[in-house]
Amino acid sequence: MTVSAELRNDLEDAANRMRISAIEMTCASKSGHPTSSTSAGIFTTSLIRNVQAPIGHACPILYAAWEEAGLLSREQVMTLRKVNSDIEGHPTPRLNFIDVATGSLGQGLSCAAGMAYVGKYMDKASYRVYCLLGDGETAEGSVWEAAAFSSYYKLDNLVAIVDVNRLGQSQETALGHHVEVYQARFAAFGFNAIVVNGHDVSELISAYETARNTKDKPTAIICKTIKGQGIEGIADMENWHGKPVPHDKINPIKARLHGSQKGKLVAKKPVNDAPAVDLHIGSIQMAPPTYKMGEKVATRAAYGTALAKLGDANPRVIGLDGDTKNSTFSEKLLHKHPQQFIECFIAEQNLVGVAVGTQCRDRAIPFTSTFAAFFTRATDQIRMAAVSFANLKCVGSHVGVSIGEDGPSQMALEVPIKIQTCPSSELFPDQQERRSWLRTSGESFSFSSTRTTSLLFYRLFQVLKESGNDKIVLIGAGVTLYECLKAAEQLEKDGIHACVIDPFTIKPLDQETIVKHAKRVGGRILTVEDHYPAGGIGEAVSSAVADHTDIRVRSICVHEVARSGSPEELMDLYGISARHIVEAAKKF
């Protein structure tokens, strides 16, 4: 495609105006990323002419682009990084044109792949997704997880733009300006990989055109650029990452303006050919559970059943798994609604990243599942999902020493608190269909994490056992709740009555119920968990009652790196079985 001299001038002028603006706003905030913004200037310009694109890398240039397009004012962008401004240091969805928060590197391509997957297979719409990556960022393995996913699913509506400006934060990147190596890597991962001069508008526009005409493959445009392009004494020099540029350095860039009119470059209105989507699941659409009282059902089997029912109720409920669908039972959704399931293979960072991408702009309700232990691989993605206020459900199976023979690498004794820390998350210590159904049948879907375990349970309710003679409150979750019930029976035979509470969620914790019952029984709470002490149920309960002088809490849990064995042996070995609960209760 040839580009007219006029368009070329217009685009170059816009890029230079944006560079100037990015430098000025980072001068005002005394921090930020002006040099990366200058290397990324021209492809942001050439993009904005055509599309809406989610960008995190070098975000001052993103804000400058929206200023150029007339959607942000000069006054607004000059509030960069101020406490009362949504023009933040790294972009977040507090701005309505940002779909996902970025700033932790290497996560963008997974989110973009999730958006592209929905565009191609669910919306069947014409929109295209562009993702800008820094060169240093491609060292993150999550980029290659996303790349493999994108080519496997033939996402030809996805374009990765790599800004190869040679310089990282502290030194030259591992590959420097070897664009041919980036090209070989993306090609090997199934991309149509094109190398261009990232400061040449014609080459860029031509590459976008090639991408648009490429079928069944995503495209990677490898842009050779200069960090700090056009700024004398700074261009291509180390030690300028994340630092404001002296104000007088703008003059040479100003001198290169052709004089085209500011604001002339208007973003095309997007074509909206995506279908309207209703994410509401009314309780009327959901068949209630059909389990009989007293029936034993594996929580993971119940999860699969509930997920399949949710899939019946709304075609935008989707399941994503990391090659464990026959263990987590998410395959029940796959078998019933194949088009509502995305196999993500053994790449948990991308599993979560893709899910975050699918839920953008309320296009889908993603449920991700794998072994709980392996969700730790995606901790950073889950953390950033919370910053994005994402509607994400992570369902981890196989929790605790009670999984038995597979050994400590699979036990997830460290898991719950990782997700618990995210401020808008909820944490379910274990999960059954009834609960899953309760929590997802309303109109509002919040960011939540649900754990399933692989043992069988009775169907249990919040306060499971109480009497007027109770002397202690026992609190467990999942398998340990079952042990608490066994212990309570034993204690009753010995004349000690115990109240057993299922916390249902660890976060938020039902503080009121716990305090009420604790006061009633004389202030004794014993928590029991198949988890390490730090950040578990014991600490949560202790913290919830910390302001009450008449309540004491003791906790039993796993204290050392666990090992392989049968579930029963391990629960006894690590001191969390009924026998140990009885002993601790009597001592208390």
CB of 514 to a second copy, least distance (A): 13
> Residue 149 burial (CB < 10 Å; 0-12/13-18/19+)?
buried
Nearer to a second copy, 136 or 478 (CB): 136
CB of 525 to a second copy, least distance (A): 8
From the list 12, 24, 68, 348, the catalytic residue is: 348
Q: Tally Cβ neighbours within 10 Å of residue 302.
A: 23
Nearer to a second copy, 377 or 439 (CB): 377
Nearer to a second copy, 469 or 566 (CB): 566
Which conformational region is residue 509 in: left (phi greater than 0), alpha (psi within -120 to 50 degrees), or beta? beta
In Å, the largest CA–CA distance within the chain is 93
Q: How far is CA 128 from CA 50, 212, 214, 462, in A?
A: 10, 9, 12, 47
Nearer to a second copy, 188 or 266 (CB): 188
Dihedral over alpha carbons 461, 467, 468, 473 (to 10 degrees): -70
* Tokens linked to 584: 């601790």
Nearer to a second copy, 32 or 289 (CB): 32
348 is catalytic: yes
Nearer to a second copy, 141 or 270 (CB): 141
Name residue 475's beta-bridge partners: 501, 527
CB of 12 to a second copy, least distance (A): 31
Q: How far is CA 280 from CA 346, 364, 390, 449, in A?
A: 31, 11, 16, 20
* Tokens linked to 559: 């204290």
Q: Which residue has the tokens 């069944």?
A: 216
CB of 553 to a second copy, least distance (A): 4
CB of 63 to a second copy, least distance (A): 12
Q: How far is CA 440 from CA 282, 330, 445, 543, in A?
A: 9, 16, 7, 28
Give the Cα separation of 13 and 256 in Å (integer): 8
CB of 74 to a second copy, least distance (A): 19
Instruction: Return the active site residues.
Output: 348
